[in-house]
Structure 1
Amino acid sequence: MPDDLYVDIVTPDDRVFRGQASGVRAPGVEGSFEVLRDHAPMIAAFGVGTLSVQTKDAHRFADVHDDRVVFATSGGFLEVIDNKVTVLAETVEPASEIDVERAQSAEERAARRLKEGGLEGSEREEAEAALERARNRVRVSMGQVGK
């Protein structure tokens, strides 16, 4: 197909997605960005947020009704070379596989830990990052992002 990209999304433990797509949107560290066919070669860092892949293969994933597969991610790198997009992510989880109750519990724990106080330096940064990741998983699982 003339508008296709080949997309490969991997984590240290798994290959999460592999296939053709017409676009990829990522939460860049300096703002979200989209990759389409014939994008210039690049390597970009991305952070906590929503990673979405525009594809006709979206039906392979549960609870997807349009042509996008949406993932919660905690950051990583995206490389584009010759219409191939490789996503190297710390974590990536399809929205349809996120346990909403577990994500909400993690959010509550992280918020409570920060509210209780007494955290300084790297401990506080770690707790804030945990809260950000948990909130992202809740938003993505409930379909409140990327629409």
Structure 2
Amino acid sequence: MADKSFHVEVVSADSKLYSGDATFLIAQTTVGELGVLAGHEPLLGQLVPGGFVVIDEEGGKRLAAAVQGGFLSVTGETVTVLAESAQWADDVDVATERTNLENADEGSDEYNRAHSRIVAAEHLTK
């Protein structure tokens, strides 16, 4: 692992979604968006329902996941995302999720899920 990378684990309640090395990670927490680089100070953050996590892999590929609550643990060498549920953005049908968002009550589980999927998918194009 290079000096500017760190290990990332993304785990949901029912599966391990990712294990690899990254150079940058963004997570949406209850106190705002948080960016993590190698050597970040240790912290524990709560992920928001309807949030997202973005991983810039060591090789340059960007991954994004819609995340429904959970926690983010950062140590000097590792970031662990423990999500209640998560879905990779490249599996998202954005048109369907926009329709779901329009039909859901703001703040509902359906609204949060659709919103997080749309935002995660948008992070793949940045």
Q: CA deviation at 1:146?
A: 7.9
- Shift of the 30–93 alpha-carbon distance from structure 1 to 2, 3 Å rule, reads same
CA distance in 1, matches of 2:90, 2:101: 18
1:7 aligns to 2:1 (yes or no):
no
Runs of 4+ in 1 over 6 A off after TM superposition: none
Structure 1 residues 15-35: Cα deviation after superposition (integer angstroms, max 9, x where no partner): 111000112110011110111
Gaps of 5+ in 1: 58-65, 115-124
Alignment of 1:39-118 (within 5 A): 39-47=40-48, 48-57=50-59, 67-111=61-105
Q: CA deviation at 1:72?
A: 1.2
Where is the strand percentage greater, Structure 1 or Structure 2?
2
Q: Which residue of 2 aligns with 1:117?
A: none
CA distance in 1, matches of 2:74, 2:101: 33
Flag the structure with larger Rg: 1
Q: Is the 8 A contact 2:63 2:124 kept in 1?
A: no
Q: How many residues align?
A: 124
Give the root-mean-square deviation of aligned CA atoms.
2.3
SS at match of 2:112: helix
TM-score (norm. length: structure 1): 0.72
Q: CA deviation at 1:88?
A: 0.2
- Of all paired residues, the percent bearing the same amino acid is 27
Where is the helix percentage greater, Structure 1 or Structure 2?
1
Gaps of 5+ in 2: none
Q: Which residue of 2 aligns with 1:22?
A: 23
Q: Is the 8 A contact 1:5 1:83 kept in 2?
A: yes
